[in-house]
A and B are shown apart, each in its own frame.
Chain A
Amino acid sequence: MTILLDFEEPIKALETKILELKTLDSGSNMNITSEITKLEAKCQAQLVSIYSNLTPWQKVQIARHPERPQFLDYIKELVTDFTPLSGDRVFGEDPAIIGGLGVFRGIPCMIMGHQKGTDMESRKHHSFGMAKPEGYRKAVRLMDLADRFSLPIITLVDTAGAYPGIEAEERGQAEAIARSIQKCLEVSVPFISVIIGEGGSGGAIALAVANKVFMLENSVYSVISPEGCASILWKSRNNAKEAATALKLSAQDLFDLKIIDAIIKEPLGGAHRSKISTISFVGDEIEKNLRTLMKQNGETLLKTRREKFYQMGSL
């Protein structure tokens, strides 16, 4: 059973009941079977009503859901011959960003993204997807490699933000992010980014200055976390809900503001309820666009990528 978010409470009783009935009988008792079908329909209707009226703050919670598919889930489903490449050749290896060579639906490419981790141990290993300078410098190295060998770049963004710590500052977190943004704007290959969960500020845009930028329906992308914004402007983290609304961080908001190119639909009840179909929706959107971009020459790709960002938010 999936971990329920607080606003999903109404589903809880129904799901428990369904599970109970299912363990009681495995299909031979007609009465129970029809009861299960009824309850499932009710559950489904409840999900529809909850998920068609999500507030921005609820979307933040879904975007952070621990069972939401992560970078490595996408690799498993969408990429063959994945060959992770490690290290920035300067200081170290940062598992908060994973990247490497692979074949995506028949297309050789460079694919990278944040990995948050799935249990306590792996979350620690991946620093909860919060990259240090070596993570961004590795990304720069891999983008450069992709550029030299004419490999399209795919990035999957899912981070609360860049790692906030002494060692990250010491090694030049700001410079590392800046160089990563710069490299995104210098490569002459097709470049697609998908915000699959959290797009947290500088740590996210460092990998997301692409020809096409997509967001999953319940992902968020913001200049600052709602909690951070609330603590500065409302003087209390408790106002995160208001901040989430004011910041306009949902996929729909970003689409309306013409920051992203398209929204990728999530199955009913969010990506965490249907990992495999979510991943294949993302794969379809990437493939469709990648095949179009691959028809353009390098110069055009570079020019239109810059132009796309120049156009943003102007009159």
Chain B
Amino acid sequence: MNWITNFVRPKIKAFMGKTDIPENLWHKCPSCEQMLFAKDLEENLHICRHCGHHKRLSGKQRLETLLDKGSVSRFSLPKVPLDPLKFKDSKKYIDRLKDAKQKTGGEDALIIAEGKINELPVIVAIFDFDFMGGSMGPAVGEGFIFAARLAKQRKTPFICVSSSGGARMQEGILSLMQMARTTAAICELKEENIPYIVLLADPTTGGVSASLAMLGDIAISEPRAEICFTGARVIQETIRGTLPEGFQRAEYLLDHGMIDLIVSRHELKNEISKILRILFHK
């Protein structure tokens, strides 16, 4: 806590009346710790003006910042069986799902839509990290397959923005199977030469990185995004040694030949549309 959240916000609240002050009026940059005015941050695509830190976007924010204004139309996710394992830990999975839906307003951890990037039509599948850590279960897998098939049908480039902790534990083996299912859909796109571009956003890990996220024709990431299979904490516990500087960040993956390029969020649309134009000889 700092003086602004402790002092200024309550004062403003008292002044304005508590109803219409958004909780996140001020935001502290997790990288340089500067205070940023939420509205400024939003206008700057959630990049810190002081240090360039790319704040993690919600699925909805990603959709808004990636596609041209007014071009977006969303699809609802195909229906899948609800809580097939009747999973329960300290809390019932079905309740966790309800909470996540309420919190994000989404159906599950994936948003699928069609729209345009600098006038070029695309189909997108965007992971929402705010929905149970962007974890992939049958709903996400099914949504991804639906979107990929639509892209194949319409011969429209398919863009996936991954941001996920991996496969969703609460749907057990069915979640693991999504790695194979989504990959099958990608195989179909490749056979038709439909471009499949992946933006590996912070964080892309586990079963999502070890399937759909690492199979892009072009792999793009944003500065400092975390990308890995096994998380740093688990590796640390296993090896009990120190991890290299910048381990599992986008720059590290670029150095090791695992992604094509790192692009600032400001340049993302231009970069993607440039690539698509060249691929389509336009």
Contacts and interface: CB of A to CB of B under 8 A. Distances in A.
Interface stretch (B9-17, B57-65, B78-86): B78-86
Contact of B85 (A162, A184, A206, A246): A246
Contacts of A247: 85, 169, 172-173
B214 A174 contact: yes
A249 B256 contact: no
B214 A309 contact: no
A257 interface: yes
B280 to A, nearest CB: 24
B37 interface: no
B84 A181 contact: no
A174 B231 CA distance: 11
A223 B207 contact: yes
Given A246-B87, A306-B184, A314-B80, A173 B173 contact: no
B172 A248 contact: yes
Given A166-B235, A202-B179, A312 B174 contact: yes
A246 B88 CA distance: 7
A248 B247 CA distance: 34
Interface in B40-99: 79-81, 84-85, 87-90
B229 A169 contact: yes
Given A233-B90, A246-B87, A315 B79 contact: yes
A149 to B, nearest CB: 21
Given A174-B209, A229-B169, A306-B187, A205 B80 contact: no
Given A169-B229, A182-B187, A233-B89, A164 B234 contact: yes
Contacts of B89: 233-234, 242-243, 246
Contact of B238 (A164, A172, A186, A312): A164
Nearest to A312: B177
A223 B213 contact: no
B151 interface: no
Contact of B229 (A177, A224, A243): A177
Contacts of B247: 166, 169
Contacts of B230: 162, 164-165, 168-169, 173
Given A249-B173, A257-B173, A172 B258 contact: yes
Contacts of B100: none
Interface in A203-237: 205-206, 209, 221-224, 228-229, 232-234
Given A247-B173, A314-B142, 8 more contacts: A164-B230, A165-B239, A174-B228, A179-B215, A181-B211, A224-B167, A247-B172, A312-B181
Interface of B: 79-81, 84-85, 87-90, 138, 141-142, 145, 167-169, 171-177, 179-181, 183-184, 186-187, 206-207, 209-215, 227-230, 234-235, 238-239, 241, 243-244, 247-248, 256-258
15 contacts: A166-B239, A166-B241, A173-B228, A178-B209, A182-B183, A201-B176, A202-B207, A205-B177, A223-B172, A234-B89, A246-B85, A247-B169, A248-B85, A314-B142, A315-B80
